[in-house]
Amino acid sequence: MQLSGAQILVQSLKAEGVEYVFGYPGGAVLEIYDALFQLNKFQHILVRHEQAAVHAADAYARTSGKVGVALVTSGPGATNAITGIATAYTDSIPMVIISGQVATPMIGSDAFQEIDMVGISRPCVKHNFLVTDIAELAVTIKKAFQIAQSGRPGPVVVDVAKDVTQATAKFSYPQEEVFIRSYQPVTQGHAGQMKKAVQMLAAAKRPLVYFGGGVTLGNASAELTDFVQTLGVPCTATLMGLGAYPSSNRQFLGMLGMHGTYEANLAMQNADVIVAVGARFDDRVVSVPAKFAETPKKIIHIDIDPSVISKRVKADVPIVGDVKHVLAEMLAIWKKQSLMFNSSHLEKWWQTIEHWRSRDCLWFEPKSDVILPQQVVQTLARVTNNDAIITSDVGQHQMFAAQYYPFERPRQWLNSGGLGTMGVGLPYAMGAYLADPSKDVCCITGEGSIQMNIQELSTCFQYKLPVKVICLNNGYLGMVRQWQELYYSNRESETYFDSLPDFVKLAEAYGHVGMRIHKPEDVEGALKEALALKDRFVFLDFITDQKQNVFPMVGNGKGLYEMVLPPHMRETKADSDVNDVNDRDYDIRSVP
Ligand SMILES: Cc1cc2nc3c(=O)[nH]c(=O)nc-3n(C[C@H](O)[C@H](O)[C@H](O)COP(=O)(O)OP(=O)(O)OC[C@H]3O[C@@H](n4cnc5c(N)ncnc54)[C@H](O)[C@@H]3O)c2cc1C
Ligand SMILES: Cc1ncc(C[n+]2csc(CCOP(=O)(O)OP(=O)(O)O)c2C)c(N)n1
Ligand SMILES: [Mg+2]
């Protein structure tokens, strides 16, 4: 049967099992929108800005594990999508973004709404295609889905010229995987390397598993949990790994890195063998590699992308492969060889860690006159039984969410780690809810970030998405203000909002419920009331302490052992200079 290119595109997406397409129409995609209308194969979600379309599709992917799909027009539609694409790229999220392009004969003529999408997206996609021949359309869609979700996942752009959508051709969708000669990701770990790794680990005195987003992306949470619990070793997560191992388990030390816990950071610094699992030694995690290397350690690094290994920190045993396979295989070797740690070493390591943990670095004293952001997140965790899907924006509220909400399962926590894109929170909540409507979906945001995609309140009303927005309103671009306080002598340059909208009225104007909460004693009641409104979108505007800071904090150029500690830990130290709190007291080098 002859179909138009637009119809072929829609049928191809259907063949890939697409449930939702997040998009915004325009001239170059008119044919595609017409085919969507006529064929009615899946639901299209009409957002209010293309950036939000890509973020929502990205969140659908993060929540469901499937490929997220966005559709935008040429020119400004395409450029508006770029921030969303780059956000997904830096966090390795599988997506296909279809953009309209001007007709083939017009390409290169500065045509109306022409932009070189292949060129402009090149640095922030896993791959991209320009389709100028209808014969290539279906197979290109097939390849795009294949590339997006295999190996290290990532976004793939398919730019489709308008004349291709108008032409007609016979439709047949490839049933089998398409062979792509230059792209063959390795999934099985090298047997010799895995044996070597397991033996190195067994000889450790101070072992640590450090895991990241790769465990969630590779659906390997069960294998990780089995590995850590069988070996009895401590583990720590990156911001992107949170939830891949249950936070409430004693073997979990919390998040590490710039705003990691005291115990996780000191364990990472002082471990003698580290198993890095789907984590990329980001600069927010190990800070300065030279300082990280000050304490000698061996590193086993498991990652599906060989280019990540030894990029920032040299690996002693590199293992390229899919974490699900590699962890299961390493555990099988461990059991088969009846390996064990030296129990007195392991016991001593745990004692040291428990000592660090007993300093209770996330402790805080609630105030009677003003709401603390930490209190809101902690209360939210309690009233949702640690079970809600949490999205966040970027800033202090993001770090408070990461520190105070105990994530118990993978895909429960959605945030922008790599690009740190303010404005993701609300569209992430939309995509997450559509992917899993069985859960409460809460967006923890700041009054700065929420305004970057506030127009999506309208989309939420149209599709009746009962998201709960938890705005930790401190009146400041708080994370930037924190840096100004600590490192720029408190010069608050352009970080205070002189005027903010009335978020309650704004929510109501969009047809939603709005609530403003000033008093600490009202936090729990307000959250319960909002969550009880199962079918309604509720905007909770929590007026919080304006000058709270996120601690611990590893400042620029500092090592993991040089955290700026929270006030309650500083009081016990002689040196409480906030800029130079060098916590070497419990450094293993001084513990006999
Ligand atoms: C304000 C702010 C503060 C931050 N502070 C911190 C902080 O304190 N601590 C922190 O940890 N981060 C922090 N971040 C996030 C940080 O910038 C990085 O995004 C994050 O640390 C990277 O996490 P990751 O190493 O798990 O890598 P990801 O970006 O999640 O990458 C996943 C890795 O797994 C690999 N992978 C994917 N699939 C597989 C598979 N199937 N098998 C094997 N490997 C696979 C990929 O190749 C990649 O190397 C902060 C971000 C912001 C915006
Ligand atoms: C698009 C974008 N612009 C700028 C930044 C830099 N930035 C990081 S955090 C932050 C402040 C966020 O303020 P708010 O949303 O109110 O959160 P808070 O830190 O106060 O909790 C800024 C401006 C960013 N991450 N993203
Ligand atoms: Mg703020």
Per CATH, domain 2-170 is 3.40.50.970: yes
Measured in degrees and rounded to the nearest 5, phi and psi for residue 141 equal -65, -45
573 given a catalytic annotation: no
51 given a catalytic annotation: no
Least confident range from 251-255, 285-289, 536-540: namely: 285-289
The pick from 285, 392, 558 for probing ligand 1's pocket by mutation, whose C-beta has the most ligand atoms within 8 angstroms, reads: 285
Given a contact cutoff of 8 angstroms between Cβ atoms, the answer to whether 99 and 157 are in contact is yes
Q: Would the pLDDT of 582 be above 80?
A: no
Given a contact cutoff of 8 angstroms between Cβ atoms, the answer to whether 557 and 565 are in contact is no
The CB of 154 under 6 Å from ligand 2? The reply is: no
Three-state SS annotation for 92-114: CCCEEEEEEECCHHHCCCCCCCC
| Sheet containing strand 127-131, strands side by side | 43-46, 20-23, 68-72, 95-101, 155-161, 127-131
The CB of 279 under 6 Å from ligand 1? The reply is: yes
Query: Of 42, 106, 113, 364, which residue is the catalytic one?
Result: 113
Q: Would the pLDDT of 58 be above 80?
A: yes
Segment 383-410, tens digit of pLDDT? 999 999 999 999 999 999 999 999 999 9
162 given a catalytic annotation: yes
Atom of ligand 1 nearest to the CA of 216: 38
Q: What CATH class has 191-357?
A: alpha beta
- Supply 504's token pair: 């309650």
> Averaged over 283-300, what is the pLDDT?
95
Name the residue type at position 221.
S
Q: What is the whole-number distance in angstroms between the Cα of residue 348 and the centre of ligand 2?
A: 41
Q: So what's the pLDDT on residue 572? A: 60
Q: So what's the pLDDT on residue 570? A: 85
Q: Would the pLDDT of 590 be above 80?
A: no
pTM for the whole structure: 0.97
Segment 320-346, tens digit of pLDDT? 999 999 999 999 999 999 999 999 999
Segment 108-159, tens digit of pLDDT? 999 999 999 999 999 999 999 999 999 999 999 999 999 999 999 999 999 9
482 given a catalytic annotation: no
Give the residue with greater pLDDT, 145 vs 41: 145
> Averaged over 251-263, what is the pLDDT?
98
Rounded-to-integer distance, Cα 488 and Cα 152, Å:
39
Which residues touch 512 (CB under 8 Å, ≥6 apart)? 457, 460, 461, 536, 537, 538, 539
375 given a catalytic annotation: no
Closest-CA residue, ligand 2 atom 5, reads 422
Rounded-to-integer distance, Cα 285 and Cα 264, Å:
11
Segment 452-468, tens digit of pLDDT? 999 999 999 999 999 99
Nearest to 116 by CA among 55, 175, 74, 64: 74
Q: So what's the pLDDT on residue 364? A: 97
The pick from 377, 428, 454, 477 for probing ligand 2's pocket by mutation, whose C-beta has the most ligand atoms within 8 angstroms, reads: 477
Residue 179 vs residues 145, 151, 183, 351, 559: alpha-carbon distances, Å: 13, 14, 9, 53, 46
The pick from 443, 479, 543, 548 for probing ligand 2's pocket by mutation, whose C-beta has the most ligand atoms within 8 angstroms, reads: 479
Domain 2-170 shares a fold with domain 191-357? yes
Query: Of 16, 31, 50, 329, which residue is the catalytic one?
Result: 50
Segment 211-232, tens digit of pLDDT? 999 999 999 999 999 999 999 9
Domain range list for the chain? 2-170, 191-357, 373-543
Q: So what's the pLDDT on residue 577? A: 30
Q: Which CATH architecture has domain 373-543?
A: 3-Layer(aba) Sandwich (3.40)
